Amino acid sequence: MDYIMRNRTIGSREGFTLIELMVVMIILGLLAALVVPRMFGRIGQAKQNSARAQIELFGTALDSLRLDLGRYPTTAEGLESLVTQVSGIDQWNGPYLKKIEIPLDPWNNPYIYESPGKYGDYDLYSYGADRAEGGEGENADIVSWK
């Protein structure tokens, strides 16, 4: 009896066959083909939401600076005036942002700031993924006046 049990354990094969591994790989490939495109679509949307949130944050900081100075920074002074004192102005009470550096947009480009703006006291925007004016979807411009 002991002899029979030993033969079964010695003769049994442990592990997976090549066919079983191929089936698992095909299933994983199909799942990846279905899931990955959906995730990439969400990445573009997340970047746009992040840019909108940053523009809102800049807007709040610019409003605080305006309360102190009585005006928005000029185009030449730019967003840097939120973290660095504008020369010759004693009313500056910043920094108006927690971080010392002005962050880039989610596509690693600087935000564009113009004051006075075409659409308001200032215009603040990012051109999106295509880095060009206009566009749709992920390429759409993210602007402060809408």
Which residue from 105, 124, 146, 111 is spatially nearest to 63, judged by alpha carbons? 124
Instruction: Please report which confidence band the pLDDT of residue 6 belongs to, taking 50, 70 and 90 as the band edges.
Output: low
Question: How do the domains of the chain map onto residue ranges?
Answer: 17-143
For residue 26, which phi and psi values (nearest 5 degrees)? -65, -40
124 DSSP β-pair partners? 113
CATH number for the 17-143 domain, one of 2.60.40.3140, 3.50.50.60, 3.30.700.10, 3.30.70.100? 3.30.700.10
pLDDT at 124 over 90: yes
Q: In the chain, pLDDT over 90 holds for what percent of residues?
A: 32
The pTM of the full predicted model, rounded to 2 decimals, is 0.69
Instruction: Please report which confidence band the pLDDT of residue 47 belongs to, taking 50, 70 and 90 as the band edges.
Output: confident
Distance CA 32, CA 84 (A): 47
